[in-house]
């Protein structure tokens, strides 16, 4: 059975000055879904899901953010028990990671191969990051919220 990612973009609308927290809204562009392919390399990197290559993990699943947008709450509730490994990452976290580090990709037949994390994740991953950068000048104001199902 395969594993799929459900990934949504949220963009900070504006901070509530008196409360000191951000209000996030779901950003939907039906022409441009984010991380919508099945790539176990990316799944392993984002949340240690199907990490057959034993790649570095940017973050173990953190659960859903407390300030999750109402739209994504509804989508997640609809997914129900089929969803797992809920997490989120800001664009800043994604951009700040060291993608030039060399890793040992254990999934390759035989001995495995050394390659940069950038090569391992592939150009499509970085095209997704480039798209996210167009949504706001501050990478702290853009995040992806995601979970997986089998």
The pTM score is 0.87
Tokens of 119: 């090569």
What is the extent of the structural domain holding 51?
Answer: 4-149
The pLDDT assigned to 58 comes to 98
> How many other CB atoms are found less than 10 A from the CB of residue 45?
24
Residue 42 clears pLDDT 70, i.e. is over it: yes
- The band of 16, judged by pLDDT with boundaries at 50, 70 and 90, is low
In three-state secondary structure terms, 115 is strand
79-134 per-position pLDDT tens digit? 777 889 999 999 999 999 999 999 999 877 667 889 999 999 999 999 999 999 99
The stretch 49-72 carries a mean pLDDT of 92
Report how far residue 90's alpha carbon sits from residue 108's, in angstroms, rounded to the nearest whole number.
30
Residue 36 DSSP symbol: -
Q: How far apart are CA 26 and CA 100, in angstroms?
A: 31
- First-residue to last-residue Cα distance in the chain: 6
* Total number of domains constituting the chain: 1
């Amino acid at each position: 059975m395969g594993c799929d990612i459900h990934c949504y973009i949220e963009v900070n609308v504006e901070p509530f000055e008196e409360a000191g927290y951000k209000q996030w809204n779901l950003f939907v562009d039906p022409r441009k879904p984010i991380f919508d392919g099945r790539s176990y390399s990316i799944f392993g990197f984002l949340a240690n899901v199907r990490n057959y290559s034993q790649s570095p993990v940017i973050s173990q699943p953190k659960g859903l953010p407390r300030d999750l947008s109402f739209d994504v709450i509804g989508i997640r509730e609809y997914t129900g028990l089929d969803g797992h490994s809920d997490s989120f990452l800001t664009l800043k976290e994604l951009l700040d990671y060291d993608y030039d580090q060399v890793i040992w990709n254990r999934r390759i037949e035989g001995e495995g191969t050394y390659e940069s994390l950038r090569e391992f994740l592939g150009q499509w991953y970085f095209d997704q990051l480039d798209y996210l950068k167009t949504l706001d000048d501050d990478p702290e104001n853009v995040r992806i919220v995601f979970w997986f199902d089998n």
